[in-house]
Structure 1
Amino acid sequence: MSQPFRQGQHYCSRLWDGVSITLREERLEIDCPGKLRTLSNAIHTGGLAEADVIVNWKVPLHYSGTDPARDTSDQLRQWGYKPEHTIGLLTAAKLTHASVAELEGDCFKLLCLTTAGTRNAARAGLPRETFSAYSAGTINTVLLVDGQMTDSAMTNAIITYAEAKAAALADLRLMDPETNRIATGTTTDAVVVGVSGNPAYQDVHAYAGAATTIGNAIGRLVYETVQEACRTQHES
């Protein structure tokens, strides 16, 4: 676990050759050596897709676009990305305070990156004011897996991510100001799971719950990076 962009602009994975993260003006760019099968709730290219670039775009704190998907697509084109193979996320968090962690396990390599802004922290499961426009202040997590996973396991990975994120926020005692209860996330959190499908790994992960090797690793890295990114978000 580290925050490499507090003192630099480039991070190369120590486990997965060809995976790099670059801090550019107004964005973090995550480059992968080949197309990944992705599952996400990303603003741009969400759902099941294929992508080799993931962009975390920093928008102003006052951003409240009514069509953030179109805004993101337009911005990606301006930067020269191929929108059809690029995942686009929005955040108002400090990109310099992104937390990165890696782990190698049973037929997989895993990289996790989290950026965190919590000004719209919220607790799921209770009545609250609702809205349709994007609100700045979000926790974005990217999970990159070099290995093989079924679509079911990728879905399971998102469940594990959500549980670990909520646990991290509970242990930080991050509060939802509207309900005065411990928050489980923010109102605009996003997660991307990207899997290489590398045939060099003989085993296909069919599950990713907390009791599996890959699920345990996902939970640990999500917990660690969410904690670090949230805990340090107001530091210079």
Structure 2
Amino acid sequence: MTQPFRSGSIYESILLRGVSLRLLEDRIETHCPDRMYALSSAVHPGGFSYAEKIINWKVPLTYQCDDPAQDIVRLCGQWGCNHQHTIGLITAAKLSHASITELEGDRFKLLCCTTVGTRNAARAGLARNTFSAYKPGTINTIILIDGQMTEAAMVNAIITATEAKTAALQQLGIIERANGQPATGTTTDAIVIGVTQHAHWNAVHAYAGAATTIGCAIGEAVYKTVLEATRTQQED
């Protein structure tokens, strides 16, 4: 694991050729030289898409907007990004404390980058006033995979990543302040899974649960980065 932006502004991937992350004034830009097939819960565009860039945009605690997706589209023009091939996330967390780790295994390589804010930590499964649940905070996770995966495996990867995130929060004792119960996430978490789908691997991962090599690696990467980014979020 590493937090490269605490001492610099650029991170070049060790395992994924040409992939780089750059910390700018109000965002982290992840550049992918090969267009990724992605599945995300991002503000823009969400669902399945093809992405060359992934933007984690930092907004102030007072940010409110009726159409945040349109905000991302508009800003893509200012940032020099093609909005049709850009995934946009929103956070109020410290971008400088993003945690990054890389792993490789059975016919795959992966990079995971997580930013964490836990002001609005919440426990899924409890009733709540949803009108007031959307507060600044957010755990945003970006997982880039050089390999081949089915769409079902990509969905499975999001399940595994979410379980790992929750495990990390419980390990740290993060609670929902309103009731003191262990948090499973925040009210506004988002995730991106981007896959190169390079055919040279000659193997397609059909599953990504904890019993698979790729799922185990995804869980490990998310767990480690959530731990590091959460533990250090109050540090300079």
TM-score by length of 1: 0.98
Q: Counterpart of 1:36?
A: 36
Separation in 2, partners of 1:15, 1:79: 27
Q: 1:199 deviation in Å? A: 1.0
CA contact (8 A) 2:51 2:85 kept: yes
Counterparts of residues 202-213 of structure 1 (less than 5 Å): 202-213=202-213
Q: Counterpart of 1:218?
A: 218
Identity of aligned residues (%): 60
What runs of 5+ residues in structure 1 fail to find an aligned partner? none
SS at match of 1:119: coil
Counterparts of residues 61-76 of structure 1 (less than 5 Å): 61-76=61-76
CA contact (8 A) 1:5 1:97 kept: yes
CA contact (8 A) 1:68 1:134 kept: no
> What CA RMSD, in Å, does the superposition of the two structures yield over aligned residues?
1.1
Q: Counterpart of 2:118?
A: 118
Q: 1:134 deviation in Å? A: 5.0
Which residue type is aligned with residue 49 of structure 1? S
Q: Counterpart of 2:141?
A: 141
Separation in 1, partners of 2:79, 2:39: 23
Separation in 2, partners of 1:216, 1:21: 24
User: 76-85 or 199-208, which moves further after superposition?
Assistant: 76-85
Separation in 1, partners of 2:16, 2:53: 15
SS at match of 1:219: helix
Separation in 2, partners of 1:59, 1:94: 10
CA contact (8 A) 1:64 1:133 kept: no
Q: Counterpart of 2:195?
A: 195
Instruction: Give CA deviations for 1:89-124 in whole Å, capped at 9, x if unaligned.
Output: 001011100000000100000000000011011000
TM-score by length of 2: 0.98
SS at match of 2:201: coil
What runs of 5+ residues in structure 2 fail to find an aligned partner? none
Q: Counterpart of 1:60?
A: 60
SS at match of 1:142: strand
Counterparts of residues 90-105 of structure 1 (less than 5 Å): 90-105=90-105
Q: 1:71 deviation in Å? A: 1.4
Separation in 1, partners of 2:182, 2:135: 20
CA contact (8 A) 1:38 1:49 kept: yes
Q: 1:67 deviation in Å? A: 1.6
Counterparts of residues 156-175 of structure 1 (less than 5 Å): 156-175=156-175
SS at match of 2:137: coil
Q: 1:132 deviation in Å? A: 8.1
CA contact (8 A) 1:173 1:182 kept: yes
User: 124-133 or 197-206, which moves further after superposition?
Assistant: 124-133
* Aligned residue-pair number: 236
Counterparts of residues 79-94 of structure 1 (less than 5 Å): 79-94=79-94
Separation in 2, partners of 1:29, 1:18: 13
Q: 1:13 deviation in Å? A: 0.5
Separation in 2, partners of 1:132, 1:74: 27
Q: 1:129 deviation in Å? A: 1.2
Separation in 2, partners of 1:34, 1:130: 39
